[in-house]
Amino acid sequence: MSTLVVVGIQWGDEGKGKVVDLLAQEADVIVRFQGGNNAGHTLVVGGQKTIVRLIPSGVLHAGKVCVIGNGVVVDPQVLVEEIDTLQQQGCLSDASLLRISETAHLIMPYHKAIDLARERLRGEGRIGTTGRGIGPTYEDKMARVGIRFVDLLDEEVFRDKLSHNLQEKNIYLGSILKEQALDFQQIFDAYCRLRDRLAPYVMNASRYLHEEISRGRKVLFEGAQGTMLDVDHGTYPFVTSSNTVAGAVCTGAGIAPQFIHNVIGISKTYTTRVGSGPFPTELFGPEGEKLRRDGGEFGTVTGRPRRCGWFDAVVARTAARVNGLTSLALTKIDVLSGLPTLRICTGYEYNGRHYDEVPPSVQVLERLTPVYEELPGWSERLTELRSLDALPVNARRYVERIEQLVGVSVKMISVGAGREETILIRPAFF
Ligand code: IMP
């Protein structure tokens, strides 16, 4: 009996998609447990690039079962488009390879309209959301007015809930946000068509996973976003609206805590962030520009340029504790080649106080001074390397220093986007 949770330990975009795709070879079932199509994982297999937003990144492996857990918020239109694209590529040929929790909540057109309109009105104070309706959908879930797959499957229940919600949302959209009202019939008809496409996949995913884990199948839980975007443990309010930490697997997939066995944290060897919010090690000069250019640091969902900075061991250390990391995977070390000197942030200073973990106050985070340690860089190209010993000595020292500062051992280092461009240090993950 074995499970593995994969979480991002920065602000998302750590390269989880590639790592999950790789680890999926060892797994039987791959599960998403939070977030929605605000995530976008880029997979490169045999030179072909595929972006998945909702379906777990393990989907490119034949015969693996992919599960969308109850903690995910699902835009059914996006999901149908994703299924169509993947099927054209020969994936998901059998309906039993995709399972959607009957209690996952649906992103509705009014959620997207509210998300976009609020961001517009916030102006300078905007969160920089992906505009996919994620926050408003989770709000409705907590306010107990959300619409779940089980509700969509019952036409009368769906009609009632939609009609009730739309009355309220149209008043809010019109009077407060100054937006157009949305049409009931249009939404109802579109969602009934989507229901017909998705119904074959909908099931009790919590029970299915319990049974699969109990009978010894290997289950991989794929986190979206990163620990610093967690609604409780991240840089609130510049966060997403779900819990992104490993503990969210229990609630977001409906499995018991004793079923979580291994947790691998994914981190870039530097740091990036999209959207607004504090970023203590952000670089504004040519070094940041180099990371953005060589790392191709542009959002997979929105195309926005990512903010880039040095590796922050304070962030990683906080995430290691909150997630209970049992190992680390470092990504994009190839991007650092050519920088003569590298910096790692080991702590923060603010108002005479030293911080070894991320403080909760955005005001402190925006004003603190990062404490840096300098390490010599390397100029060699790393993408063809497949073993730790083959790395230039300064690259090895950089990795070892990260391990020391975070207190977790590195099991995998990614040296390029392709599945094979990976150094596996300790191969067994489950
Ligand atoms: P939301 O999740 O669309 O509400 O956006 C809230 C914040 O999370 C924004 O700063 C987004 O840029 C960020 N965010 C959401 N999803 C991702 C992701 O997959 N990668 C990186 N940042 C994300």
166 three-state secondary structure: helix
How far does the centroid of ligand 1 lie from the alpha carbon of residue 240, in Å? 6
pLDDT band at 49; cut points 50, 70, 90: confident
pLDDT in tens, 152-162: 999 999 999 99
118 CB near ligand 1 (under 6 Å):
no
Site to substitute for ligand 1 among 274, 276, 302, 307, most atoms within 8 A of C-beta? 274
Distance between alpha carbon 145 and the CA centroid of its chain, in Å?
25
Nearest partner of 101 among 202, 208, 177, 32, judged by Cα? 202
- Cβ of 241 closer than 6 Å to ligand 1, yes or no, is yes
Ligand 1 touching residue 38 (CB < 6 A):
yes
Ligand 1 center from residue 16 Cα (angstroms) = 14
Q: Which helix (H) or strand (E) holds 221?
A: strand 218-222
Which residue, among 85, 78, 82, 83, has the nearest Cα to 94 in the 3D structure? 83
In the structure, what pLDDT confidence band is assigned to residue 175 with cuts at 50, 70 and 90?
A: very high
Query: Phi and psi at residue 362, in whole multiples of 5°?
Result: -65, -35
302 has pLDDT over 90: no
Kindly tell me if the per-residue pLDDT of 301 is higher than 90. no
Q: By alpha-carbon position, which residue is closest to atom 10 of ligand 1?
A: 275
Phi, psi values for residue 352, rounded to 5°? 75, 5
Separation of 238 CA from ligand 1 center, angstroms?
9
Cβ(275) to ligand 1 under 6 A? yes
Residue 41 known to be catalytic: yes
Q: What percentage of residues in the chain have a pLDDT greater than 90?
A: 90
341-350 and 369-376: which strand pairing?
antiparallel
Query: Residue 411's pLDDT is what?
Result: 96
Distances (CA, A) of 48 to 19, 59, 295, 347, 371: 16, 14, 18, 40, 41
List, for residues 211-263, the tens digit of each pLDDT value: 999 999 999 999 999 999 999 999 999 999 999 999 999 999 999 999 999 99
pLDDT mean across residues, the chain:
96
Report, as an integer, the average pLDDT of 369-393. 97
- Least reliable range by pLDDT among 96-100, 185-189, 303-307, 309-313: 303-307
Contact of 147 with 106, CB cutoff 8 Å? yes
Answer left, alpha or beta for residue 265, where phi above 0 means left and psi between -120 and 50 means alpha: beta
pLDDT value at residue 47: 80
- How far is ligand 1, taken at its centre, from the CA of residue 226, in Å? 9
Angle at 298 between CA 314 and CA 366, to 5 degrees: 35
Atom 8, ligand 1: which residue's CA is nearest?
A: 240
**From the CA of 64, how far away is ligand 1's center (Å)?**
28
196 CA → ligand 1 middle, Å: 30
CB 291 within 8 A of CB 270: yes
The terminus-to-terminus CA distance of the chain in angstroms comes to 9
Q: How confident is the model at residue 124 (pLDDT cuts 50, 70, 90)?
A: confident
Atom 11 of ligand 1, residue of closest alpha carbon: 129
Question: Does residue 347's CB lie within 6 angstroms of at least one atom of ligand 1?
Answer: no
Q: Would you state the pLDDT for residue 51?
A: 86
- Residue 244, pLDDT score: 98
Indicate which residue of 13, 21, 115, 230 is catalytic.
13
- Whether 134 lines ligand 1, by a CB cut-off of 6 Å, is yes
Question: CB-based contacts of 286: which residues, under 8 Å, 6+ apart?
Answer: none
- Tell me how far the alpha carbon of residue 15 lies from the centroid of ligand 1, in angstroms: 15
- Region 310-328: mean pLDDT is 98
* pLDDT single digits (tens) 180-201: 999 999 999 999 999 999 999 9
**Cα 264 from chain centroid (whole Å):** 13
- 130 CB within 6 A, ligand 1: yes
Element (H, E) at 203: strand 202-203
Over residues 378-387, the mean pLDDT reads: 97
Q: Catalytic annotation on 210?
A: no
Q: What is the mean pLDDT of residues 373-385?
A: 98
Q: What tens digit of pLDDT does each residue of 59-84 get? A: 989 899 999 999 999 999 999 999 99
- Among the options 28, 41, 105, 230, which is catalytic? 41
Could you tell me how far CA 415 lies from the centroid of its own chain?
20
Per-residue pLDDT band at 42 (split at 50, 70, 90): confident
Q: Per-residue pLDDT tens for 254-296? A: 999 999 999 999 999 999 999 899 999 999 999 999 999 999 9
pLDDT, mean of residues 148-170: 98
pLDDT of residue 428: 75
Residue 4 and residue 261 in contact, taking contact as beta carbons nearer than 8 Å: yes
At 44 the pLDDT is 80
> Looking at residue 39, what is its pLDDT?
87
Pick from 18-32, 98-112, 330-344: least confident: 18-32
SS (H, E, C) 36-62: CCCCCEEEEECCEEEEECCCCHHHHCC
Q: What is the pLDDT of residues 320-356, one digit of tens each?
A: 999 999 999 999 999 999 999 999 999 999 999 999 9
What is the rounded distance in angstroms from the CA atom of residue 335 to the CA atom of residue 415? Answer: 8
- Residue type at position 151: D
Note the pLDDT of residue 429.
82
Q: For residue 104, which of 18, 182, 33, 192 has the smallest C-alpha distance?
A: 33
Atom nearest to 129 CA in ligand 1: 5
Cβ(352)–Cβ(311) under 8 Å? no
Q: How confident is the model at residue 100 (pLDDT cuts 50, 70, 90)?
A: very high
